[in-house]
Structure formats: C-alpha cells, structure tokens
Amino acid sequence: MPRRPRMAAVVFAVLATWLSSAFAASAPDTLGRIRADKTIRVAYSGESLPFSYTEVNGEASGYSIDLCKRVIAQVGRAVDVPDLKVKWIAASTPERLRMVASGNADLDCANTTQTLARMAEVDFSSLVFLETGSFIGRAGSHVALGDMNGRKIAVLKGTTTETRLRELLRKRLVNAQVVTIDRAADGIAMLESGGADLYAGDLIKLIGLIAQSADPSKFEVVGEKFSYEPYAFALPRNDSAFRLEVNRAISQVYRGGEIGPIFERWLGALGRPSDALGAMYVLYSIPD
C-alpha cells in the first residue's frame, strides 16, 4: 500500500476510535449509577391529580405513579437490585425537565407533554396518555372562545398549555390577558376571588382540581378543547439502555392488560378510554 493511503487509513482509524470514546464518555450511564447507589430518583408533580400528586401522608400517587412503579420494578430487575430505594422529588414541569436534563433526576413520572422542543434537552419514553387542553370557569359562565376578549385567563407558567394558549389567542385575534401562575391550586383560588375569569389546563387535570376544591359546584368546564397533549416520561438524553428498560416496563403493562385496572382506578369515573387512547395502548404494546 502506498504511504499516503496507509497514513490516511491510520488517521481515520484513530479518529473513529476517539469519536467513539468521546461519545461513550458523554452518554449517561443511568443504570450504572442506579446500581451503584441502589437508589432511583424520580421527579413528579405534587398537584396533578389524577396523574401525579402528593397524598396527605406524603406519598406520591396517581395514574402516572402507578405506571412509574412498574418501571421502577423493571429497572430494579435490570440492575439486579430488586429492593431499589426511591427518592420522590415533587416539582413543577420546568423544574422536573431541568432535573432530568442536568442528571439530578433519573426520570420524570407525571403529566409531562412530549414536544420536539423538549427533545433538545431530554429523551422521552413511549407515550403513557393522550390529553387535550381546555378551560374551567365559574359555574354558569358558559364562556366561548369568542367571548374571551378582555378576560383574564390563568395558566401554569412554563407549560405547553401556556404556549398553545398564547398561540390560539393570537390566531383567533382574541384580546385576553394571560396570567401565569406557579401552582395549579392558585388557578382555583383566582377563579374564586375574581382574579381570573378562566383557568386553562389539561382537561382531566382541571376536572381533578374541581373535584378537590371546597365546593365543586362553583366551577365548570367551559369553552373548547384547544390543544393535543401526548404525555410521556422524560428521560436523560442519549441513554438507550435506560430508555429500553423504561419502555420494556410500559410495554409489559399494556401488553399484559395491567393498564385496565390502572385506568379504572384513576380515570374510570370519566368512562372508557377514548378510541385514540385505546389505539395508543395497542401501538405501544411492543413485543419482547
């Protein structure tokens, strides 16, 4: 072989090895950390009934949490630590995503919408729910979108609901005032005090907030559904081994029928799963 092609081949081989090593060094090893610490750190929402919330006794609970516990059990089997210690961390959506992106949480189990923008910072599991955005207001208000000019609409800061609400109002030329809040409970309080006319959020979560309020008869769902919210668990980027175990657990729940009792426990009062949600369960019943 002539000297120049031989040299080029050597340089290429060295460069390829270096790039492979650099990528491996930069990719997180979540399973390895969990195995070493015998602990998994799970971010969740403390106030998103029925998906993710904190019980009076301080325990995490909800539809997403039940799914998440299956994930935790599968991760425990994968790292050969069946009695994993779980560190539950209650936080807002932006905080949870930052924790996963920075490595301060191993996954986010709540009602987090998967978006392309968020995929720049974190990866996501298979979908765990399909939701829509809507509004609640005081009982008897019957406010349609065209009636929202001059109204104050509360919405959680930093959520996809806020982004899509602002887009909707701009496209429909509705001159409403968007008031951002930090806690879901603040939305109900503002409706009660007259500080807001409407509260925008994910529909089932809004229904949960009404049910938790001191007098549910004072509120009702109004307006129209205005967004599509595909929920998934946020995961560290570029960690395919960890993502595989998370998705393995979710697929097992869907494939084995465990999702039926979980849905019934937390959402059965709303009726059967929608056709779209039922199809999602089937599509993500990935075989081993």
DSSP secondary structure of 209-224: HHHHSS-GGGEEEEEE
- Residue 241: what are its φ and ψ, rounded to 5°? -65, -45
For residue 57, the model assigns a pLDDT of 95
Q: Closest Cα partner for 198 from 146, 144, 151, 149?
A: 151
In CATH terms, are 28-130+230-283 and 132-229 the same topology? yes
Reading across the β-sheet that carries 52-54, which strands appear in turn? 47-48, 52-54, 60-61
For 28-130+230-283, give the CATH class.
alpha beta
Residue 156 exposure: Cα atoms within 13 Å on the Cβ side: 24
**pTM of the entire predicted model:** 0.82
What are the sequence ranges of the domains in the chain?
A: 28-130+230-283, 132-229
Residue the block writes with tokens 């340089």: 11
Cα 99 from Cα 159, distance rounded (Å): 16
Interval 161-212: pLDDT, tens:
999 999 999 999 999 999 999 988 899 999 999 999 999 999 998 988 888 8
DSSP secondary structure of 33-48: HHHHHTEEEEEE-SEE
Identify residue 169 by its one-letter amino acid code: L
For 132-229, give the CATH class.
alpha beta
Cα 78 from Cα 243, distance rounded (Å): 12
Pick out the chain residues at pLDDT < 70. 1-26
Residues 6 or more apart whose CB falls under 8 angstroms from that of 24 comprise: none
Cis previous bond, 50, omega within 30: yes
Interval 106-128: pLDDT, tens:
999 999 999 999 999 999 999 99
